[in-house]
Chains A and B, each alone.
Chain A
Amino acid sequence: MGMGIEVRNRMASRAAKEIKAGMVVNLGIGIPSLVPNFLAPETEVLFHAENGVLGMGPSPSKGEEDAMLCNAGGFPVTVIPGASYFDSATAFAMIRGGYLDMTILGGLEVSEKGDLANWVIPGKRIPGIGGGMELAEKAKKVIVLMSHVNKHGEPKILQECTLPLTARRCVDLIITDMAVIEVSEKGLLLKEVMEPFTEKDVREMTGARLLVREGGKK
Chain B
Amino acid sequence: MNASLMTLEIWVIALGIVLMLADFFFGVTPQRKKALAYLGIAALAVMLLTLLGSDAPTGTAFNGAFVQDPLSIFFKRFFLVAAILVLFMTSEFSEKISTAVPEFYSLVIFALVGMLFAASSNDFAMLFVSIELITVTFYVLVSYQRGKLSSLEAGVKYLIIGALSSAFMVFGIALIWGTTGQINFTELAAVVPQFLTNKIFLAGVLFLLTGLGFKIAVVPFQIWAPDVYQGAPTPTTAFLAIGSKAAGFVLLLRVLFTAVPDVAHHWSTYLIVISGLTILYGNLCAIPQRNLKRLLGYSSIAHAGYLLLGVAALSANGQSAVMYYLAGYLFTIVAAFTVITLVMQHLDNEDVSALAGLNQRSPLLATTMTFAMVSLAGLPPLAGFFGKFLLLKAIIAEGPANYGYYYLAFVALAGIIISFYYYFGVIRAIYWSRETPDLSPIRLSGAAKFSIALCIAGMVWLGAFPNVVVNLADQAARALK
Are A and B genuine complex partners?
Answer: no
Which residues does B use to contact A, with CB under 8 Å? none
Which residues does A use to contact B, with CB under 8 Å? none
